[in-house]
Structure 1
């Protein structure tokens, strides 16, 4: 029998294995009495009927669809939904949809509730069942084939089929807000709010239609003509955020790098929520994130900028030491590093993660240019 044919044949279920062992014991030892003969005949008939009906199950005609969110946060569960449609007129019993890891990946790549159950699916019916996958690591979470298993009417045999349904969920880092981050963000926001406009730049001559409450009467008396005050032009608050991709040394280097990514996410999200326009980049000069470091930065604003920042941070990986990206040389960036401030001195500020403590705040914050 060829291996593809073996895959299409039903295999004994747990209850079927017990029935087969019992039938084999009765056939081998042949205990005296008519009751043993009747029991053997009944078990043999039951096994044959269940095998035949399981072989004729409409598993091959089943249509399956998987629904997943585009992204998720690290440490949270990802809700997936399996939608099945049985176009045949026959009943399908004991259907189980099992998520399998992609080919070549570790069996531990998927964790959580990885299977959905459908006790009975009549002919022509549609059904949906949800499950929860655990997003334990940052980055793309790839899903491989889906293994469908249907049982016979007596749950003695089961037949399986594998459907190739590749999918991917981008797992964002969870923004980390250590103690002192709120004060740092407030100080940074105040530095970005400084306006170079003076009093005379906000005063102009009166024009018909201007509200009287904006007239500066004392200044109008000194100048001999009515003048009004205008609101200063809104200053666009901008900030550059750079993540140092050096991983550092030691057994906890990878953990500290992940903490740096989470800290950069928390700092960037806090600034974006306060209306700051953010530019993000990395220090990588080689490796998987080289393209992210060399290309011009994206201008991130609001909720869309928050989602884009988390997506960029979900794809970064450690890389050898490298310089700041060219666009950040004159932008006085705020750098988040897990490997120390060496080579990054003279910048706007460097947040360095201590080996076992919180991040050290930058010494001085200067207003953005």
Structure 2
């Protein structure tokens, strides 16, 4: 924990220097500090002269940058972000830049300042596991910490070049994005970079821009599955918004006639009383319902197996399905969540946004998740379980589903257990072990 606090202090300090000094300025400051260390004895060498020259140059450039910052016209910027992006896939968004001042603005750069979440104690497992796999990281540790920050930030944005603007001129700029990991990126602030006359010191002028968020969806990992059962089952109480007129049996209400409603649905007594056509509305009680269970019980917040499981779930959620079917996504957050898509309840995009921010939970959370699935098994036409282990509690849950005449498809994102018992023969054709892809080489955060 003390090492993590030290790394955070080093990152904040280095980021502060990079925001205030150009690359040339960093070199000059480093040489100035080096000369100052060796120039303490002014009689032994002339390093103190280099220190004085470097310190004066940086001080003069800093004063010039502050003066330019005070006189710099303010810009107004509006972001046009996409609805969502996908991790690992390059994307773009549009910036609309306006010069509302009566003075022209010289060409320069804009910098997006994204909110940087800090690692929680739950993220330390990933930090330690990354360090254990590399001797260099085990001794240093800081590269793994930078990779963790990059994952938490979700998106990286390079500097944005802005051309010179006349008074009242408006330009539109396409900005490339680099989604590095699934999550919710927060575009917190936008600033214009002002460089000193010597090119050593930078200062940043705030730009009027509204804070915005962008969901980074998980990557999608395809998997071959048997065809889902499409049989319709009784749903006690129906489902919200899954209503139609005509052929159901559960009467719900009366409403005004709409073009296309069948004549047999007209309520003739109300028609005779009001003089306007009124139809009977019913709530459907029978339809196909499919369940997708995502196991989040993992100790490592960024475990490769968990990220693979989320990618599998994202691919399955995004698959096209019948218009008359529903998909339930079950997982554990602060409680058991059961989110439904289809039949007027929203599309797959809402579930993908949820998968973008789903996090791991304690190992004991799998028990309450499996219990919720079993309670609703009678309403399900098919079940897909994405599990992070294949232990006895999970085996028993699958056995109970089979006893309820529900044949699930089980995807285990873990290597096969070499000590598996002969009881696993009863799961032939049900359980598939999914290999965890090798992680790509990480790019250090900046």
TM band (smaller chain): 0.5 to 0.7
User: What is the alpha-carbon distance in structure 1 between the residues aligned to residue 219 and residue 203 of structure 2?
Assistant: 41
Question: Which residue of 173, 181, 186 maps to 1:142?
Answer: 186
Question: Do the aligned partners of 2:108 and 2:163 also contact (CA within 8 Å) in 1?
Answer: yes
CA apart distance, 1:98: 0.9
CA separation of 1:55 and 1:134: change in aligned 2, threshold 3 A: closer
Question: Which residue of 193, 204, 210 maps to 1:160?
Answer: 204
User: What is the alpha-carbon distance in structure 2 between the residues aligned to residue 281 and residue 176 of structure 1?
Assistant: 17
Matched with 2:161 is 117
> Where does the alignment leave 5 or more consecutive residues of structure 2 unmatched?
1-15, 32-45, 51-56, 120-148, 234-284, 417-427, 432-446
1:153-302 residue pairs with structure 2 within 5 A?
158-163=202-207, 165-178=210-223, 180-181=224-225, 184-185=226-227, 188=228, 191-192=229-230, 238-248=288-298, 254-270=303-319, 272-275=320-323, 277-284=325-332, 287-288=333-334, 290=335, 292-293=337-338, 297-301=339-343
Question: Do the aligned partners of 2:69 and 2:204 also contact (CA within 8 Å) in 1?
Answer: no
Question: Do the aligned partners of 1:260 and 1:336 also contact (CA within 8 Å) in 2?
Answer: no
Question: Do the aligned partners of 1:245 and 1:317 also contact (CA within 8 Å) in 2?
Answer: no
CA separation of 1:52 and 1:79: change in aligned 2, threshold 3 A: closer
RMSD: 4.3
Matched with 1:83 is 96
CA apart distance, 1:171: 1.8
TM-score when scaled to structure 1? 0.60
Matched with 2:430 is 362
1:283-322 residue pairs with structure 2 within 5 A?
283-284=331-332, 287-288=333-334, 290=335, 292-293=337-338, 297-301=339-343, 304-319=346-361, 320-321=365-366, 322=368
1:18-37 residue pairs with structure 2 within 5 A?
none
> Where does the alignment leave 5 or more consecutive residues of structure 1 unmatched?
1-6, 30-42, 196-234, 364-369
CA apart distance, 1:19: 11
Aligned length: 279
Matched with 1:102 is 115
User: What is the alpha-carbon distance in structure 2 between the residues aligned to residue 76 and residue 96 of structure 1?
Assistant: 25
CA apart distance, 1:68: 0.9
Matched with 2:127 is none
Residue by residue over 1:208-236, the C-alpha shift from the partner in whole angstroms, topping out at 9 and shown as x without a partner, is: xxxxxxxxxxxxxxxxxxxxxxxxxxx97
Question: Which residue of 371, 382, 397 maps to 1:344?
Answer: 397
Aligned: 1:328 with 2:342? no
TM-score when scaled to structure 2? 0.51
- Determine helix, strand or coil for the equivalent of 2:193: strand
CA separation of 1:314 and 1:13: change in aligned 2, threshold 3 A: closer
Question: Do the aligned partners of 2:232 and 2:289 also contact (CA within 8 Å) in 1?
Answer: no
- Larger helix proportion of the pair: 2
CA apart distance, 1:85: 1.1
Question: Which residue of 129, 133, 144 maps to 2:173?
Answer: 129
